A and B are shown apart, each in its own frame.
Chain A
């Protein structure tokens, strides 16, 4: 650390030393300060791009790096080779698994008879799983064990609750963070929701999962909470170090001069 602090004024393109790109923390306006400005989005956009363009120009002018004075990797060959290798890996995995694990061909569907187990398309399993929450519909003592609403209405109301929560989210948090570490709580909420969408979808195909139903109902609601807590803890511990400081400076937009 002390080495980078004492470097000379030469501009470096490798990110080390003081490039002059990133303003010091105490000069960067916070988001609330930024919101108070009335300049408007076009002005802000113009200033942002103009400043980054000028900084890039200054950096190139001052740079003594002759062979490659571009700040970034060229598309060809670097990015293309990388993307090709990733694409070929996944295509190879698809071919390998399709060859090694051919699933059995079952008998064709019989349109004249309804199958015993009816399922929607896989992307609607979460909603179907919410309809299967009838074991949680409580019998009330004041009704002598009777239920306050039918199991069908209970499942529909569960859908209303989940869709309502998702619809409410943008009003609670706009999502201005670019990285999960910037808002660990909301990142944890998101991970919990993603895990819940998987566990509740698994409830829809409960007949294919070798776990007793009461245990699976517990998993449906406990796993998302556990995943959210782990996410929050991990992200909180990541809020330090060089990379986090660097990201945090980019998170707050560079101030226009």
Chain B
């Protein structure tokens, strides 16, 4: 259980850090507004900007779905497998 926690936590913090940096570059017009990190990104001027803007959402969803996978999906799957196994043995 602790292993799965630190895996999900590592993905959450690691991908979240990259998301925060990239969103700070492209989606933060000002640090004194409510739309920092979530403002619409500008039109990419070159290929590096385009890749970075594309990666913002990739890392955001990696952080969210990665944590959910290791904290909820995999433990729930194991619980379900164990329940099915015990029911099969008892019957």
Contacts and interface: CB of A to CB of B under 8 A. Distances in A.
A145 interface: no
Contact of B31 (A97, A103, A207): A103
A101 B24 contact: yes
Contact of A104 (B17, B30, B34, B35): B30
Interface of B: 17, 20-21, 24-25, 30-35, 38
Contacts of A207: 34
Contacts of A81: none
A145 B38 CA distance: 40
20 contacts: A97-B17, A97-B21, A100-B21, A100-B24, A101-B20, A101-B21, A101-B24, A101-B25, A103-B31, A104-B30, A104-B31, A106-B32, A207-B34, A208-B32, A208-B33, A208-B34, A209-B34, A210-B34, A210-B35, A210-B38
With most chain B CB atoms within 10 A of its CB, the pick from A101, A209, A210 is: A101
Given A106-B32, A208-B33, A209-B34, 9 more contacts: A97-B17, A97-B21, A100-B24, A101-B20, A101-B25, A103-B31, A104-B30, A104-B31, A207-B34
Contacts of A97: 17, 21
Contacts, number: 20
Interface string A198-216: 0000000001111000000
A219 B30 CA distance: 26
Nearest to A207: B34
Nearest to A208: B34
Contacts of B21: 97, 100-101
B12 to A, nearest CB: 15
A207 B32 CA distance: 9
A185 B28 CA distance: 42
* Complex A-B, nearest 3 residue pairs according to Cβ-Cβ distance, in ascending order: A210-B34, A100-B21, A101-B24
B20 to A, nearest CB: 7
A234 to B, nearest CB: 12
Contacts of A101: 20-21, 24-25
B31 to A, nearest CB: 5
A176 to B, nearest CB: 28
Interface in A88-111: 97, 100-101, 103-104, 106
Contacts of B38: 210
A103 B32 CA distance: 10
Contacts of A209: 34
Among B20, B25, B34, max chain A CB count under 10 A is at B34
